[in-house]
Amino acid sequence: MGQNGHVSKLSSQPLSPLDGRYRSQVGDLGLYLSEAGLNRARIHVEIEWLIWLVEKDLLSSGAALSEKELSALRATYEDFSDSDIKALGEIEATTRHDVKAVEYFIRNKLEAMGRGDLNELVHFACTSEDINNLAYALTIRDALEEVWLPALRVLLEKLRGLSQETADTPMLSRTHGQPATPTTLGKELAVFVFRLERQLSRIDGQAILGKFSGATGTYAAHLVAAPDVDWPEQSKGFVESLGLTHNPLTTQIESHDWQAELYQKMGHVNRILHNFATDIWTYISINYFKQIPVKGATGSSTMPHKINPIRFENAEANLEMSLAVLDSLAATLVTSRLQRDLTDSSAQRNIGVGFGHSLLAIDNLTKGLDELAVNEAALLTDLLENWEVLGEAIQSAIRADVARGESEIKDPYALLKGLTRGKRITDEDLKTFVNGLDISNATKERLLVLKPQTYLGLAAELAKLVAN
C-alpha cells in the first residue's frame, strides 16, 4: 500500500543505497559481507571441522575420506551458488535457526554422497558461536584483503604519484584559513600519503582471532565425548588451519576485541580521508585545482557553468556514514552480558555497511583525483599577491644577525609585525624595508632576492620522502 491507500506497482526495492544506487561501486563486498557470504563461510568452517575430525580420527571412528570425497565436500563452499542459498533458506524456514540450517544442509550433502555415516560429526561439540565467530573472521579478513585494502592502495598510489608530480610546485599554505608561508603542493599531499601509510601498516599487522571451545568456552562436551584428546591443542590447530589466530580463553563468544581494534584503525583511515576530501574541496574552491569537465555531465540544474566537486562531497558524507557504523560496532562488540547475549549478532550484520560506505568514499576520491588538473597559474598568482608572507623569513634572518653580533635591531618580530600584520605589501615595499635595515650585507643580499615562490625551505625534498 502506498500513500492514501494506493497500491504500489513497484516490486520490493533495496532499502540501502549500497544495494541500490551505489551497488556497482561496492558490490564486490557482497561476496563476503552479505548473508550469503556469511553462510558460505559457515559451511566452510563446518566442512573443514568435519574433515579435521575425520582425518585426525579424534573420535576413534575409523572413518576416512577419499580424495574424491574431500574434493566434493570442499566444493560445497567453494562452489556455493544461488541455488544453495535457496536450499538453505528453505531449511531455515523450518529450523528457525540459521546455523542449524547450515548443519542440516551439510547433512543432506553427505547423504547425497553416500556418506550419511558421517552425519553425527557435523557440528560436533560446537555451539553456534564457534561457527559464527570463525565465519565472520573469514569474511572480514577476505573483504579486507580482497576488496577494501586493494581499493585503498590504488587511491594511495594515485595520491603518491600526484604528490611527486607536484613536489616542486610552489603553493601558498594557509593556517586558520589565512595566508601563511609558502610550501609546495606535493609536500602537502605527501603528508596525507605518510599518514595513510602508517595506518595501513597498522591494519596489515592486525591479528584476526577465532575461538572453538564449545558452549561457554570450557571444552566440556568435548571431554565427555573423548576425554583422551587434547582439545585445546586441537582447537588451536584447527583455527590456525583457517589462517586465523587462536583465542584460548573465551566465554561462549570470541570477545571481538580484534574486531573493535580493526574498526578503530579503519575509522582512523576514514578520518584521514575525510580531512583529505575537505582539503581538496577547499583547494578547488580557491582555484588551486581545475575540475576537468566530464562529457555529458551536469553540475547545477539551473547554472550551466558549474562543475561541482561532487566526488569529494560524496566521499565526505560516506566517510561519516562509515564512521558512524564502525564506531558503533567498535563500542558495541566488546560488551556482552555475562557469558553471552545477542547484541553482537545483530550488530555484526551491519559490518558490510561500515565497509561499504568507506569503500564508496575511496572509490569517489580515486575517481575525483582523475578529474582534477593543477592550476599552476592560480597558485603563482596567489603567492605574488601575498609578499607579506616573507615577514617570517626577514625577522628570522634579523634575529640570526643579532645573535651573531652583526645587528643591534631590537625586537625584529615587532618590527615585521608593524610592517605586515593585516596589510598587503609589494615586492618594492619589502626591498625598501630590507635596504633600510641595519643587518649584514650577506643577509641583506639573501633577503633581497627572496620571493614568495622561492621561500620553500625543504618542501620539495620532504615531499620526496614518500616517493618509493
Give tens-digit pLDDT for 181-200.
Answer: 999 999 999 999 999 999 99
**Domain 129-296+305-380 CATH assignment equals 1.20.200.10:** yes
- Locate 131 and state its grid cell: 561457527
Per DSSP bridges, beta strands 209-210 and 245-246 are parallel
Q: Which of 61, 241, 285, 300 is catalytic?
A: 300
* Averaged pLDDT of the chain: 94
pLDDT of residue 302: 55
- 305 pLDDT exceeds 70? no
CATH topology identical between 26-127 and 129-296+305-380: no
Active site residue 222: no
pLDDT of residue 418: 86
Helix H or strand E segment including 24: helix 23-26
pLDDT tens digit sequence for 124-157: 999 999 999 999 999 999 999 999 999 999 999 9
Angle between helices 82-95 and 98-113 (to 10 degrees): 120
Q: How far is CA 158 from the centre of its chain?
A: 16
Q: Which of 176, 201, 301, 305 is catalytic?
A: 176
Per DSSP bridges, beta strands 372-374 and 170-175 are unpaired
Q: Quickly state the pLDDT bin for 116 (edges 50, 70, 90).
A: very high
- 381 pLDDT exceeds 80? yes
Active site residue 176: yes
Decide: residue 85, CB within 10 A, 0-12 exposed, 13-18 middle, 19+ buried.
middle
pLDDT of residue 293: 77
Amino acid (one-letter) located at 227: P
What one-character-per-residue DSSP string does 192-227 give? HHHHHHHHHHHHHT---EE----TTSS-HHHHHH-T
Query: What class is the 26-127 domain?
Result: mainly alpha
Q: Quickly state the pLDDT bin for 415 (edges 50, 70, 90).
A: confident
- What residues form DSSP beta bridges with 175? 178
8 Å CB contact between 261 and 218: no
User: Domains of the chain: which residue ranges?
Assistant: 26-127, 129-296+305-380, 387-451
- 330 pLDDT exceeds 90? yes
Q: What is the CATH number of domain 387-451?
A: 1.10.40.30
Q: Quickly state the pLDDT bin for 303 (edges 50, 70, 90).
A: very low
Q: Quickly state the pLDDT bin for 295 (edges 50, 70, 90).
A: low
